[in-house]
Structures are given as C-alpha cells and as structure tokens.
Amino acid sequence: MQPVGHDTQSIITEVIRSRRSIKPFDMDASRAVDKSLILELLENANHAPTHGLTEPWRFHLFTGDSRRTLAETMARLYRETTPEAEFREDKMRKMSENPLLAGAVIVLGMARRGGAKIPELEEIEAVACAVQNLALSVTASGLAGYWSSPPLVYTRQFADWLGLGPEDRCLGLFYLGWPKAGFTMPKASRKPVAEKITWH
C-alpha cells in the first residue's frame, strides 16, 4: 500500500482531533438521518481490524417509530432489573427520552464467533475499533454521535430482547443525529501524550 499524501494525512488528523461526543439533547430531533448515509457510515465501521476475520460487530438500527419501541423497552427493563435502592426516576425518564431526541439509534452488538481460539476480550476490542471508525465517519459527515453504555445494556434481559445469542453481548447504544442549529462544538481536553508514553 502506498503511503497517504500529506494532504490526506492532514485531513485524517483533523477528523480525529475534532471528534467529540455530542449527546442526544444537542441533536435536532426533527431532522432524520438518511438511510443511505447510515449505511455508508456502517460500511466504514465494517472495515475495522478483526482477529481471525470474525467480524464480531452487529448493528441493530432504530429509526422512525422504532425509536419509541426502544425507549419504552429500555424504561421497562430498567424498572424490572434495577434494585429498589438503586432505582432513579430521572434515569428512567432519560432512557425513555434520549432515543426520541436522536435521528437514529444504533445498538451495538458483539457476536461471539471466535471460539476458544480468540479471547472474548479481543472480540470486544474489535467492536470498539468498529465504533471508532463509525465515530470518525460521523464527524467527517458533519453529524453528531454519542456512544452510551448505561448498565441496562449489559443485562441478559436486554440482550434477549435484541435476539442476541447466549455468548453474545450488547456493548452500548450509539446515538446519531444532526446537531441543533447554533450548536457549538466543545473544545478538546486531553493531557499531553508525552505523559502517557514510556520509551524503551
């Protein structure tokens, strides 16, 4: 493979460094995300690295009226699976509102297909790489994206509702939409990378 040119590298750097998590309440609920654009974003996600070419990522798409079904199910399962001492009405309300604030919600699944040869952790890492591809593609498209992982999504009840296999996992929700008019992108906040490097 030929190395990318300077201009291409600059564009990639700009996209990576300008990526931000934009929560659903900063998305324009009245503006849908076109299906063809969602498919293009997910095709980029599909090109993530994967040990043994197991391609464990799975995407459950909720758009239009199905977002309400997702919201109602999350609220119901939160009530059913949360111990009384930990239950919070505001959290349940947020779960029932957020899917309706985004143009689309992508529920992220990990399909366990590697057997004993490939550790589950490596399959989870592959899905995370796919989500990073998705997040960068969202940024490049001018969209807003937010990877959310409330404890509810890790429950067996939620996995069963999605139809995931016994060894499969849900790894979160990716809220997708257009930023509200006038939205100001937050600035980056990262400590210097030099503080995180050990040279050998």
DSSP result, 89-157:
HHHHHHHHHHHHHSSEEEEEEE---SGGGS-HHHHHHHHHHHHHHHHHHHHHTT-EEEEE--GGGGSHH
> How far apart are the C-alpha atoms of 101 and 179, rounded to whole Å?
11
Q: What is the per-residue pLDDT across 66-92, written as a single tens digit (0 to 9) for each?
A: 999 999 999 999 999 999 999 999 999
Asked whether residue 117 is domain-assigned, the answer is yes
Asked whether residue 9 is domain-assigned, the answer is no
Tokens of 138: 């969202």
**For residue 188, what pLDDT band results from cuts at 50, 70 and 90?**
confident
Q: In which domain, by residue range, is 53 found?
A: 20-181
Q: Burial level of 161, CB count in 10 A (0-12/13-18/19+)? A: middle
**For residue 185, what pLDDT band results from cuts at 50, 70 and 90?**
confident
Average pLDDT over residues 151-171: 96
Please give the share of the chain, as a percent, with pLDDT higher than 90. Answer: 91
CATH number at residue 95: 3.40.109.10
pLDDT for residue 189:
87
Asked whether residue 10 is domain-assigned, the answer is no
pLDDT of 122 above 70: yes
pLDDT for residue 20:
95
Average pLDDT over residues 118-138: 97
- 84 contacts: CB under 8 Å, gap ≥ 6: none
- Give residue 24's identity as a one-letter amino acid code: P
Could you tell me the pTM of the whole model? 0.93
pLDDT of 1 above 70: no
How high is the mean pLDDT of the chain? Answer: 94
Asked whether residue 49 is domain-assigned, the answer is yes
**For residue 186, what pLDDT band results from cuts at 50, 70 and 90?**
confident
> How far apart are the C-alpha atoms of 62 and 178, rounded to whole Å?
16
The total domain count for the chain is 1
Asked whether residue 33 is domain-assigned, the answer is yes
Asked whether residue 1 is domain-assigned, the answer is no
Asked whether residue 194 is domain-assigned, the answer is no
Asked whether residue 200 is domain-assigned, the answer is no
- 122 contacts: CB under 8 Å, gap ≥ 6: 51, 114
Task: DSSP for 19-82, please give it.
Answer: -----GGGB-TTSPPPHHHHHHHHHHHTTS--GGG---EEEEEEETTHHHHHHHHHHHHHHHHS
- Give residue 162's identity as a one-letter amino acid code: L
> How far apart are the C-alpha atoms of 109 and 184, rounded to whole Å?
31
> How far apart are the C-alpha atoms of 148 and 154, rounded to whole Å?
12
- 154 contacts: CB under 8 Å, gap ≥ 6: 169, 170
3-state DSSP assignment of residue 189: coil
